[in-house]
Each structure stands twice: as C-alpha cells, then as structure tokens.
Amino acid sequence: MTDRDLLFMPATAAARLIRKRALSPIEYVDAVLASIEKTQPTVNAYATITADAARAEARAAEQAVMSGKELGPLHGIPINIKDLFSTKGVRTAHGSAILADNIPSQDDILVTRLKHAGAIMVGKSTTPEFGHKGHTDGPSFGVTRNPWNLERTAGGSSGGAAAAVAAGLGPLGLGTDGAGSIRIPAAACGVVGLKPTTGAVPYEQTSDSFFNYAAAGPLTRTVADAALMMDSLAGPSTLDPWSLGAPAHGALPPSLISEDLSGVRIGYLSAMSDCSADVAANTKASLAALAAFGAEVEEAGAGMDWIAGPARLMYLANLNVYFGHHLEKWRDRMDPVLVEWIAAGSRANMVEFRKAQVARSRLYRGVQKLLESYDFLVSPTLPTTAIPAEAGKTVDALFNRGWNAFVYPFNQSGNPALSVPNGFGADGLPTGLQIVGRWWRDSDVLRLGAILERVQPWADRRPSV
C-alpha cells in the first residue's frame, strides 16, 4: 500500500486493518503528519499541529493492539479538531488573536468522547475568527485553500476540517455548524458533512444554550465514516438542555443500508434559491438516481418563506452580543468582516430581534409541515462551486451572494441536514447535495446519502494537491 492510498483510506477500513494488526497506528499517524507538513504552506488546513502528542498516542495505540486490549471504534484513527473546541493543554484560539494564548485546562466533551473511542488528534483545524463566516481566512492564520484548486475557497467556518479530510490529512474532522459551517465546506471540498439534529450531539460551548441553533458534527470522506463518528459523538450532556430529550442514537451498520426506496417521498426544494446550471444539473441527476431505486420525487416548498432577513438579523445581533465587547481593545487585529457584522448587529433593537425569533418559529413549523408530506427534503448545498479564496475578505461575497442560502434554514429549524458530494462542476470543482430529514432521524439522512454514494461514487476521486 502506498502512502497516498493510506491517506485516502476510509476510517472504517483503517480501523479494521488496525484491529487485524495489518496497519500500524504509528505508521498511519506518521504518514498523516508528513502530509500535513508538506501541504501546510499551500492548503493551510491546521492552526496548530500536535505532532509530538499524536506520535505518543500512536505508540500507546499500537501497544494496546499488540497487548490484546479492548479497542474503541476509532482506535488509532487520526482526526482533526476545529479550533473552536477546547483541548486540554493545546491552544484553542478560536481563530483569533484575542485568544492566541488560551490553553484550556480540560477537553470539550466531544473531544473526550472521540479520545475515549480511540481517535488520535493530529491538530486543530483552522476556522475564521470565532467561526463567524462561510470562508476560512483571518488575520491570525491567513487563508485556508481548497485542495481541488488552491485559488478557490475551502468554505467555512469548518474550512480547515473539510480541507484536511479532502486532502488526505486525516480521514475525520470535527466541525461546527451555526449557519451552514459544516455543510458549506463539505460541498466546496467534496466531502461528507452532517449537521445533526439540534441536541443529537451535545454542544456545550454555545453562549446561549436555550437559543442555540448551532451543532457539532462530522466531516469525512464517506458516509459510513460519518456514521461511525456519530456513534461516538451522540448522547446527552447535562450542560446542553437540547440534548437531554434526545432519543438513543440509532446506529447505522453499513450492512443494513437497503437500496430499496419504494414508497420513500422526497421533496425537491427547487425554488429555494437560484443556483448555477452545473449545480442544478448535478442535483437533478442525483434525484433521478434516487428515483431509479423507487423514490417518489416531486418539487416542494413553493412559496415558502425561508426568513433570510430575520435569520440574518438574529445572527448579526448575536455576534454583537457575544463578541462586541472585544472591539475597543482588539478592533485593529480582528477580521474586518467580523467587525462590520458586529456593527450591523449593534443596530438591531429588541422589537426587531423578537420579531425575528417569531419568524424562526414560523419557519420551524413550515419545515415540519413539509416533512409530514415528505420523508426527506433535498436541495443543492451551495449555489455554485467554490468561489475565489480571496472573496472571503469582503462582506458582499457572503450574505449578498447567497452563499449559505440553502443551508441556514435548517439551523433555524433544527432538522438534521447532510451534505454529500454529487459530482463536479464545469470548472472541475465538487458540488454537493443537501439531504434534510425529520428531527432525530439523523441515521435516515445518512442512509439516503449512503445509497447515493454507492450509485454515484466519489471517494475514489482525489485532489492533486
């Protein structure tokens, strides 16, 4: 096996080989770290690389295998952790100069769970400052670039996690998604990204637990890897009230995924937003593939109010509340887009904010009503392939170009939403399909994504970086 084959091997296959003593965790981690070092000057997927600790953990992982100890499902598998999650003894800067010296004293609960499952952190992946936008760049670390074309964006805000997985710099990434921040980079970089149902995976780092619309979730090269990772992440935490009512997470063994979609109803959100001709063509081809397995596909959501204005107001106002107090001291060292958005958020008044919250309830009910008629809602993930990498430095490239038009509504509604690769555009860059399911039916969206993965395989395609 070549190093390149090893780097692009699914985590499910690598875990199986490690158990059989056919793959050394030491050699695996060494190969990933060597590739990170080689690509860091170009892709720039990592804010911090934890090489020494990763190698020490790999040695311990190999000893556990050789000693016949009980192994977790992710034993010996390299993973990147987005630089928004606390990691004990490892800098967690949130992409900001403000927290450049922040060394947490304990791990986030999800980091703890992943370590318990046997995963080995090779570094903290890049994020725009405080994860505020759909592109990954910032004054503190530069630009994270798309492995398929270094002139294009990796998306964001989990851009480092997606770029790392796409480039073979570890098969698993842990990201966050508050307005598309897992699904945007997943589509831009040609990987799988799941925003779980709100509460399916505990999200302890949110500033407002009860008004939370963000989620943590996996970024992987295959759907089976996402399902494997979800099994380690899901479960309640007393610090996240949304997670306390979550039902037990249903595992999704690959052998149980049937391709028979007879009677499955899919609503195509064709009028949700405009998109490019190649994205539209790939979306229709994916829907035709699902229909060939028996799914009933029809256009849905006509006349739906996706509350773009109210959602934007809530998002900007929250940025002002969470980070506005930093401006007096740090303005000149903060991302200019974040500074401008904080200023915009400061202009919202209480009545406007409450009206936006009421609009969110209307959207929630509208989405659930659609899902009474359909088992899934489907749309493109992004309106185009990845836009230029430098575009993330301007406000216009983000909200005004509708970069997250297809994804943010399902943060507001809380439904699980999966982005899977579904082809390539005219420029040779990946496109993505978004699959939305009913609350707590995360395994269902993974199942549908896995069927599409089999009929339109993508994991064999590798960027040349």
CA distances from 273 to 162, 182, 286, 381 (A): 24, 19, 18, 11
At which residue do the structure tokens 């699959």 appear?
Answer: 435
Q: Which helix (H) or strand (E) holds 218?
A: strand 215-220
DSSP for 112-177 reads HHHHHTT-EEEEEEP-SGGG-SSS-EETTTEE-EETTEEEEE--SSSHHHHHHHHTTS-SEEEEEE
- Distance CA(448)–CA(438), nearest Å, equals 13
Q: Is 140 exposed, middle or buried (0-12, 13-18, 19+ CB in 10 A)?
A: buried
Q: Is 361 a catalytic residue?
A: no
Q: Which helix (H) or strand (E) holds 372?
A: helix 350-373
SS3 430: strand
**N- to C-terminal Cα separation, the chain:** 19
Report the relative pairing of strands 192-195 and 142-143 from DSSP bridges.
unpaired
Computed on alpha carbons and rounded to an integer, the radius of gyration of the chain in Å comes to: 21
Structure tokens at 184: 């945007």
Which candidate in 24, 35, 86, 157 is catalytic?
157
Which candidate in 181, 232, 243, 413 is catalytic?
181
SS3 187: helix
Which candidate in 24, 35, 82, 158 is catalytic?
82
Q: Is 181 a catalytic residue?
A: yes
- Distance CA(94)–CA(82), nearest Å, equals 8
- The answer to whether residues 370 and 377 touch, using CB atoms and an 8 Å cutoff, is yes
Q: Which residues pair with 379 in a beta bridge?
A: 434
Residues with Cβ within 8 Å of residue 1, at least 6 apart in sequence: none
- The set of catalytic residues is 82, 157, 181
